[in-house]
């Protein structure tokens, strides 16, 4: 099963939280194995051919078993989660009530050298010289344009449609 949830790495632990009524969180506290996958899509790499087009991303997977954070540590973990999600927010909020704490479960999984995998895609397309010479636009949508695209190269309709903008090519230069 896959469920979207907020998380944070606190020291060497992956920490999640949710309702004590959650069936899937209870299954995790009962020892179910878990694989937590997180991907940040940084952009679409638009190459001069479909074959070379791809995505820029950062992706991590952590495997293991969660354990329940003990009640005497739960408030600290939950406040650290909140300040990870929104830095400085805990200082602006009222304290959690006993009822809120009782309704919230915090789980942690150790992040160790043998239970995670990381994959990062950060390169430019490897367009053949003939494709580069043909003058087609290439770049990363919506943030930057490939460094070897001449300034006069028009932004193609396909990329303009993806970004929803008519920005000047110079604004996209890396």
| CATH number reported for the structural domain that contains residue 41 in this entry | 2.30.110.10
The pLDDT score that the predictor gives to residue 145 is 65
Mean pLDDT of all residues in 10-39: 93
The pLDDT score that the predictor gives to residue 164 is 56
Confidence band, pLDDT 50/70/90 cuts, at residue 163: low
Confidence band, pLDDT 50/70/90 cuts, at residue 154: confident
Q: Is residue 1 situated within a structural domain?
A: no
Confidence band, pLDDT 50/70/90 cuts, at residue 167: very low
Q: Is residue 131 situated within a structural domain?
A: yes
Q: Is residue 26 situated within a structural domain?
A: yes
Distances 134 to 129, 130, 131, 138 between C-alpha atoms, Å = 9, 6, 5, 11
Strand order in the sheet with 104-110: 7-10, 13-19, 104-110, 67-68
Q: Is residue 70 situated within a structural domain?
A: yes
Asked if 116 and 62 count as a contact pair (C-beta separation under 8 A), the reply is yes
Q: Is residue 33 situated within a structural domain?
A: yes
Report if pTM > 0.75: no
Q: Is residue 2 situated within a structural domain?
A: no
> Residue 30 pLDDT > 90, yes or no?
yes
Q: Is 112 exposed, middle or buried (0-12, 13-18, 19+ CB in 10 A)?
A: exposed
The pLDDT score that the predictor gives to residue 136 is 85
Confidence band, pLDDT 50/70/90 cuts, at residue 165: very low
Q: Is residue 174 situated within a structural domain?
A: no
CA distance 131 to 45: 15
The pLDDT score that the predictor gives to residue 138 is 84
- Quote the domain boundaries for residue 157: 7-169
Confidence band, pLDDT 50/70/90 cuts, at residue 75: very high
Asked if 111 and 129 count as a contact pair (C-beta separation under 8 A), the reply is no
On average, the pLDDT of the chain sits at 85
Mean pLDDT of all residues in 52-75: 93
Report how many domains make up the chain.
Answer: 1
């Amino acid at each position: 099963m896959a469920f979207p949830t907020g998380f944070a790495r606190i020291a060497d632990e992956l920490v999640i939280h949710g309702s004590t009524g959650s069936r899937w969180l209870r299954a995790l506290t009962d020892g179910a194995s878990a694989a937590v996958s997180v991907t940040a899509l940084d952009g679409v790499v638009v190459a001069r051919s479909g074959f070379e087009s791809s995505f820029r991303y950062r992706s991590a997977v952590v495997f293991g078993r969660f354990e329940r954070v003990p009640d005497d540590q739960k408030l600290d973990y939950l406040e650290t989660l909140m300040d990870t999600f929104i830095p400085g927010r805990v200082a602006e909020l009222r304290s959690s009530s006993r009822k809120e704490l009782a309704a919230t479960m915090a789980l942690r999984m150790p992040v160790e050298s043998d239970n995670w995998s990381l994959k990062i895609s950060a390169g430019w397309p490897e367009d053949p010289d003939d494709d580069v010479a043909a003058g087609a636009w290439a770049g990363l949508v919506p943030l930057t344009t490939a460094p070897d695209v001449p300034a006069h190269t028009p932004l193609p309709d396909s990329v303009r449609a993806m970004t929803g903008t008519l920005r000047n090519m110079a604004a996209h230069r890396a």
